[in-house]
Structure 1
Amino acid sequence: MLHSLTSRIVFVGSIVSVNLICLSGLLLSASNSMIASFEWNSHKQKITEIVSETLSDLREAQAEERGYLLTTDPSFAKDFDDRVASALSKVNILEQLVQDNPVQHERAQSLQIATNERIDTLTKQIALARQGRFDEARSRVVIGQGRVDMAIIVQKADEIRQTEQELLIAREATARAHVNWNRKLVIGGCLIIVLLVNGLLFIVLNGMRRSISLIVHAMSDFGNGNRTVRVNEQMGCTEFDMLAQGYNTMADRLDAAMQAQEASDLKLHKANTELKRNNEAMELLGEMAHRLQAARTSEELAAIICAFVPRVLPGIPGALYTHNHTTNQLERIAQWGNASVGCDSLLPSDCWALRLGQSHSVSTPGGDVTCQHVACDVSTYHCEPLFASGEVVGLLYLQSTVEEENRFRLVALVENIASALVNQNLQKDLRDQTIHDPLTGLFNRRYMEESLKAEIATATRDDTALGLIMADIDHFKHINDEFGHDAGDMVLRTIACEIQNSFRSHDIVCRFGGEEFLIITTSHPLETLIQRTESLRSSLSKLELHYNGQSLGKTTMSFGIAMWDKALHHTASDIIRQADAALYQAKKDGRNRIVVA
């Protein structure tokens, strides 16, 4: 009887052991399959990302090429070579990644050929532009072949991405089926083991009831979700000890596989969340950049900054400073989040970020040196210098530290703002060059003509006074002939300054041409205008000018005054002609005098 009982125990124990080993092997195989599935999905996602990045590089290269051709400004194509190299590198990587799929490999090779052809075209056009052959380069663009080539590239890229997406969806469905099968396998295996243990209860002595109860309870708890339960007590029987050990091994492996899956799911969820946040930030940055490029004044730029920066970096107050090259100071043009953020202006030496040429932040009180422009009650802040072509264009001051997950947003924000500041400075310089005389700093003749038309329209509509003063330096040719043109330029600048200081800020003082000046005045009656002009004439006649230690003698001017009359035609040439005639009469009467038309 004992032998029979022992044989049965041995037999049942053998069956249990075999089933446990098989179940453990199946679970291990399923775990390996799931890990392989995760790696395969990552591979497919990488292919999709590389295709998207290749298209992005091509579009960026094309945009820089078009910008260079349209503006002839080489700075628009400064990153062109890097974009081209990046696109070539990524399309080559793509070709290597899809070698295991003949169809995708063929498409990748086709995309590689199309990309090389498009890059070759762009490179030739850039080369023509860099040789100064802009018209020839633009004519190649006008043909429209680039749009067709890009459409073909986009189509080939979409085919690759669509196929990879379909494969990814199919693989995910297979993975879900494996998960369901693994769940059934665990439940089935547990049921089999429970049945075997229950059968053994009828065979073995009542003394083995405790051991079986421990194992059953452990498996039941595991099946209910308690993955930490293990059988650690001695069973009093070698076979049950082996069974407990097998269960523990199985539970450890299954728990490890499930933890790996949960960790992978969590990591994927975090990546998707971060990607979503970055996509939202990029959309905001794109909208902000679009508006910044259209801004015409500092006020408009400040309004755009105050509207978008708090959305890109929520909860962080800050201020934006722009560099004034004339005073060598950084002046605050925008602030958000707090009415007292930052100071009104600061010197470059007051900020450690500008001294070091890199970002500077203080995250804890006393953790680093503090910039002089930061208030004493501020314990954490971040300064980000704004550079363009190696020169300081501004400073972004944030009254908080920037967390690691927001670094990407900060970098893109700084690039957009720096680009906008450079663009606005260029527009301002261009406007100044367009309307000002480079020698005297006065308005030029072109600006005078436009302003005079507007003032005539206002005087006609509102019935207000409008006067025109034409002035000419007496014997200016003698100064140029005897002392040189540099002395003449000095005389022009001095007299221009005297004229500017003799009239109101809203009067328009222009250099009409050569040594002639023209002043447009509004709301002055003729008597007041004559008095102002006489005061200017008298002060100029008392000037003693010297150049290189030589006296240039007395400098006098002749003036012709004309007042706008409704009887005149509504054109600027009539009143200019009257003032010029009066000036000619003053010259004829002996110079250094005023004649009213």
Structure 2
Amino acid sequence: MNPTCENIIKINEKLKLLNKLEDIYLTIYNRIKEEYNISELEILLKTIDKTESLFKSKEIIYDDFLNSFKYIENENTQIYFLVYSKTEKDNNSIIKELPKLKLALEFYSSSLYNKYLEKSIHELSIIDPVTGAFNRSYLDVYVDNILSISNREQKKVGFLKIGVDQFKAVIDEFDYTIGDMILVELTNTLKESVRISDIVIKMSEDEFLLILLNVINETNATIVADKLINNFSQRKVIIDNNTSQTLKKTICVGMSIFPDDATNIDDAIKKADIALYEARNIGRSKSYKYSEENVNTIDFF
């Protein structure tokens, strides 16, 4: 076998073994930088309706010499490698080695795209398609790790169960489209109101779970709950563009703290659920912290 082809295949096999897309991008960049003396690399993925920048080695100076390579992955998707060189001499060197570079990128693009698809399918399996929040599958796979870290570092985790007040009335009066708009608005409110490290999960039709990492105490969780209630009460959903009719809704929040109230994730969620039930019994826009002392006084029926 031609030594060049053999080397390309060897690198490509290495790419297939990498788990992270970022590692694949960097391996491709470092390899062609070393072998073909390029300065920078940008990788784009283009579909019918969008162009996504997958990788950019650094802030590219666009008056550098550019060579563009397109590889068709399927009838709707192409991957572009934009290869930059700083001097005409370097660019001429790339042109001289063009057949080898094209062959290498053809192999690499296939491995890159397969990993991209794998990641996309995985994300689809853990993301709620309506709201963009995580779904219960994410909870099943990842959250046990959070509790393990919490135990090891002796840090508390807050579990906030959030429900839309009178959500069924929205569906009855309007429709599921308006209901979905309410849920999207709530998801955005939750994400904007907490840290990027906190986790928003859609649990059921109108209920969400917010996992607060490293909470100091229950007072800290209560402050967050009241902030969520206040922020969402101010959000408006436009339900008729012609009349500018808007709809405002409210939420209730139930809270439990790990490990104060529970020893495992199922128990923590169950107790946050009990607290949410009690908050809703009190009225709209209410929060309630789970308490073992009060649990026997809660009337579920």
Bin the TM-score by the shorter chain: 0.7 to 0.9
Q: Which residue of 2 aligns with 1:393?
A: 79
Give the one of 181, 191, 214 matched to 1:523: 214
1:323 paired with 2:14, answer: no
Q: Which residue of 1 aligns with 2:299?
A: none
Q: Which residue of 2 aligns with 1:501?
A: 192
Alpha carbons of structure 1 residues 394 and 424: separation in structure 2 relative to 1, 3 Å: farther
Can you list the C-alpha shifts for 1:496-534, whole angstroms capped at 9, x where unaligned? 101111110000111111100000112222112211211
Give the one of 122, 129, 140 matched to 1:438: 129
Can you list the C-alpha shifts for 1:31-50, whole angstroms capped at 9, x where unaligned? xxxxxxxxxxxxxxxxxxxx
**Residues 544 and 554, structure 1, Cα contact 8 Å, conserved in 2:** yes
Q: Which residue of 2 aligns with 1:540?
A: 232
User: SS of the counterpart of 2:117?
Assistant: helix
Aligned AA (1:591): R
**Displacement of 1:593 after TM fit?**
0.4
**Residues 36 and 93, structure 2, Cα contact 8 Å, conserved in 1:** no
**Distance between the aligned counterparts of 1:543 and 1:297, measured in 2?**
38
**Residues 291 and 304, structure 1, Cα contact 8 Å, conserved in 2:** no
Q: Which residue of 2 aligns with 1:279?
A: 2
**Displacement of 1:402 after TM fit?**
5.4
Can you list the C-alpha shifts for 1:333-361, whole angstroms capped at 9, x where unaligned? 44xxxxxxxx6359xxxxxxxxxxxxxxx
Give the one of 240, 245, 249 matched to 1:555: 249
Can you list the C-alpha shifts for 1:445-493, whole angstroms capped at 9, x where unaligned? 1212333312222222221111100010011111111111111111111
User: SS of the counterpart of 1:523?
Assistant: strand
Unaligned runs of 5+ in 2: 86-90, 291-301
**Residues 472 and 559, structure 1, Cα contact 8 Å, conserved in 2:** yes
Q: Which residue of 2 aligns with 1:565?
A: 259
Aligned AA (2:193): S
User: SS of the counterpart of 2:202?
Assistant: strand
**Residues 320 and 397, structure 1, Cα contact 8 Å, conserved in 2:** yes
Alpha carbons of structure 1 residues 456 and 329: separation in structure 2 relative to 1, 3 Å: closer
Aligned AA (1:450): V
**Distance between the aligned counterparts of 2:284 and 2:186, measured in 1?**
16
**Distance between the aligned counterparts of 1:508 and 1:292, measured in 2?**
31
Aligned AA (1:547): I
Unaligned runs of 5+ in 1: 1-277, 335-342, 347-372
**Displacement of 1:403 after TM fit?**
7.4
Q: Which residue of 2 aligns with 1:592?
A: 285
**Residues 459 and 466, structure 1, Cα contact 8 Å, conserved in 2:** yes
**Residues 449 and 572, structure 1, Cα contact 8 Å, conserved in 2:** no
Greater mean alpha carbon deviation, residues 292-301 or residues 437-446: 292-301
1:483 paired with 2:174, answer: yes
**Distance between the aligned counterparts of 2:278 and 2:214, measured in 1?**
26
Aligned AA (1:286): I
**Residues 256 and 275, structure 2, Cα contact 8 Å, conserved in 1:** yes
Aligned AA (1:585): E
Aligned AA (2:79): V
**Residues 284 and 308, structure 1, Cα contact 8 Å, conserved in 2:** no
**Displacement of 1:291 after TM fit?**
1.6
**Distance between the aligned counterparts of 1:461 and 1:398, measured in 2?**
47
**Displacement of 1:567 after TM fit?**
7.1
Q: Which residue of 1 aligns with 2:59?
A: 344
User: SS of the counterpart of 1:401?
Assistant: helix
Identify the structure with the greater helix proportion. 1
Aligned AA (2:78): V
Q: Which residue of 2 aligns with 1:84?
A: none
Matched residues, percent identical? 21
Aligned AA (2:267): D
**Residues 331 and 344, structure 1, Cα contact 8 Å, conserved in 2:** no
Q: Using structure 1 for the length normalisation, give the TM-score.
A: 0.43
Q: What is the number of residues matched between the two proteins?
A: 279
Q: Which residue of 2 aligns with 1:123?
A: none
Aligned-pair Cα RMSD in Å? 2.7
**Distance between the aligned counterparts of 2:95 and 2:227, measured in 1?**
67
**Distance between the aligned counterparts of 1:417 and 1:315, measured in 2?**
15
Q: Which residue of 2 aligns with 1:177?
A: none
**Distance between the aligned counterparts of 1:582 and 1:446, measured in 2?**
23
**Residues 319 and 332, structure 1, Cα contact 8 Å, conserved in 2:** no
Alpha carbons of structure 1 residues 435 and 471: separation in structure 2 relative to 1, 3 Å: same
**Residues 386 and 392, structure 1, Cα contact 8 Å, conserved in 2:** yes
1:15-164 pair list within 5 angstroms: none
**Displacement of 1:331 after TM fit?**
5.9
**Computing the radius of gyration over CA atoms, which structure comes out larger, 1 or 2?**
1
**Distance between the aligned counterparts of 1:486 and 1:502, measured in 2?**
24
Q: Which residue of 2 aligns with 1:574?
A: 267
**Residues 564 and 575, structure 1, Cα contact 8 Å, conserved in 2:** yes
**Residues 470 and 560, structure 1, Cα contact 8 Å, conserved in 2:** yes
Can you list the C-alpha shifts for 1:129-170, whole angstroms capped at 9, x where unaligned? xxxxxxxxxxxxxxxxxxxxxxxxxxxxxxxxxxxxxxxxxx
